[in-house]
Chains A and B, each alone.
Chain A
């Protein structure tokens, strides 16, 4: 082990938020990102670190400045012809403006001063305030500020990752942080006081805060022989997204499983959360047929709603959302999470009888032994159901993914043999390997069309062989992408096929992964496009 000399001038912390962002943009590994953020939070004083944290989690609401106003500011600095050529070359408005803006006094203003002046600025003063700071900041600072006021940092850090970094840095659990997240606000003095042992844990019970969710592990079938079926309950696995509907003390929230509030996208749900409870369930699109009150649409219908931040009444009428409840975390002030699942289930069933119409109950799937359940699972595809959930009757509701308590057991995947058309190098550990593959099916005897991308499922040894094959069979290079001479077939496992307007082939596969490398199989025996399209109705 080489001991590195610690020279003071370069061993300093990242004292500067824009420098942190700049490092995050270029860092690929998750652990490296956690370390960079954690180090910043540990070594930066209040309130700057609180504002920084809020910027990373998307909770810092600075007054927005429209792109047109930013362009107008740039127009005061540089001829429009030169700005146009620069923008054309760089391709990003905030970055272009940050780059062409002249360097000013260079005294490096403090994050706190910049943020607080903007938070306090009236709407009309936002643009002049922005200009004032652009004149003071260096390039990285200008870039970060422009990103913040024009809508989002996009530095490859999710809100969840930022919270994990916070938890890691202060030896706290991320569940605790998620639980209190909605009862604290920037710059989070009380949160840091608690994390650094100076204050009490902020009280999450006050509002309709997010409660960290309990997650399931994939079931290895071999494990079944070790489990006693009498200790478990089974439910269908629904093909929507996991949500938590919280309605407490007049506040109503609809959270994703990572604590993101998506209430604005589903006003018809929020409007009906007229109860005092916290529900765990699946968000689904219901089939608008009067006689089948709670039949649901496929995931692609839900995708159309998820893409809209503020849906119009027409879209809501066409694709109305509902919640299929499978757990009850709070009823009134009573926290049910420490009760065994079977007790919570009874309370949920009772509660569901008086629940609003947009919530129904996820039914139990009765079974007496594992063989019976295996049978049930094999019929899941025909029934249009994604699989089964198996839950231990006697465990309490634990945040995270505890072992051997909840299992997800997806239906058997479909498989199809496809031809490798393009390969791209991966990132991080895989940056020297052609590891991401675009795969095609035969449109006619001579034409392949892409139907999916796959970049997992192989072993390290197989990756070495795949990489070698790509290099030896390269036809053309397009930057990081190579097209290859058709010559290799991969067996792809996937969960379902969907129509796609984005792909030329008109079809997209869900959850594709490489099941087997078919070194033996001639390419002309790979699947025809027509056969792949038939799978659209098979699920």
Chain B
């Protein structure tokens, strides 16, 4: 298949653009019509006129951008939308609550724009569904053979062992506020940890939103209202930057944990000041990227952001023609 079969999908300064439908997918700048794959700030931005996304993603955007004047239209997974000759629908991406791949059909060809995705099970996000297609647009955040995410349970075990070995110290766990925080809460409860868990103020609202969508995280309290004595030896979740900055000074001699796919590489973990690095990622690792691309059976793969060269090289070995898009505006560290 030649590239011109997909000349209706274009790369513009604002982002990826579907010409016959007149919509951008995850645009980096304000546009008239935007389809949003998921609620992370480098994908969901304020200021568009019209936004089409899942109900969960729209709810996340309302929490983050309460004064955004956009017109929001919600989509269920699998619900078909027709715009002229274009037919499109949302499929689950397994990344965070409400995350979706966008499936677009036009003139007999199907493209899937996957946004960010993972294949590991996560009770707080609908599991990824592979969709057969001609063109698959993939991320490449962890596209190196060194990234093989371990089972998240083993990492939670590591945290619990640290809590047990240093019971007199508080543990500050750096987590990304949307998705990672709530996945960790869920994993901790599944592991049988039934102490109260304390949240940095910035994490409270999104966690409440997850609860409203049916998640139960047990006894979770805001740091602001928590009992000081219990807090001084407790487990506290906070945005990664807060764990080593001024906010952390209220804790006496804390152990610093960080949950991120980057923790796989020791030098990066040390750079982030992690004493308890947890390799827990909401992105696909190397094997899952290759497996997913293969499962879509796409003849062409476009790579949006990350380590494009390694993924393009390996995809070509499995017979898929890969092109790096070098999309701007994606955050390297957003994990």
Interface residues of A (CB under 8 A from B): 1-2, 4-7, 9-12, 14, 23, 25-28, 32, 35-36, 39, 78-79, 81-83, 85-86, 89-92, 95-96, 99-100, 103, 139, 425, 427, 429, 431-432, 479-480
Contacts and interface: CB of A to CB of B under 8 A. Distances in A.
Contacts of B277: 26
14 contacts: A1-B233, A2-B230, A10-B164, A36-B165, A39-B165, A81-B313, A86-B310, A89-B307, A90-B265, A92-B267, A99-B148, A139-B150, A432-B247, A479-B271
A431 B310 contact: no
Contact of B313 (A6, A36, A82, A91): A82
A6 to B, nearest CB: 8
A89 B230 contact: no
Contacts of A5: 194-195
A91 B268 CA distance: 11
Interface in B50-106: none
B324 interface: no
A10 B160 contact: yes
B325 interface: no
Contact of B245 (A7, A39, A103, A432): A432
Contacts of A85: 144, 307, 309-310, 313
A15 B140 CA distance: 36
Nearest to B242: A432
Contact of B310 (A1, A25, A82, A90): A82
A99 B244 contact: no
B58 to A, nearest CB: 35
A95 B165 contact: no
B271 A89 contact: no
A78 B144 CA distance: 11
Interface string B237-268: 00000001111110001001000000011110
Given A5-B194, A95-B265, 16 more contacts: A2-B234, A4-B167, A23-B162, A26-B266, A27-B275, A36-B165, A82-B144, A82-B145, A85-B313, A86-B146, A89-B265, A96-B146, A99-B146, A99-B147, A431-B273, A432-B249
Contacts of B276: 26
Contacts of B147: 99
Contacts of A103: 148
A4 B266 contact: no
A-B pairs with the 3 shortest C-beta distances? Answer: A99-B146, A10-B160, A431-B244
B187 interface: no
B52 to A, nearest CB: 37
B140 to A, nearest CB: 12
A2 B231 CA distance: 9
B164 A79 contact: no
A90 B164 contact: no
A4 B164 contact: yes
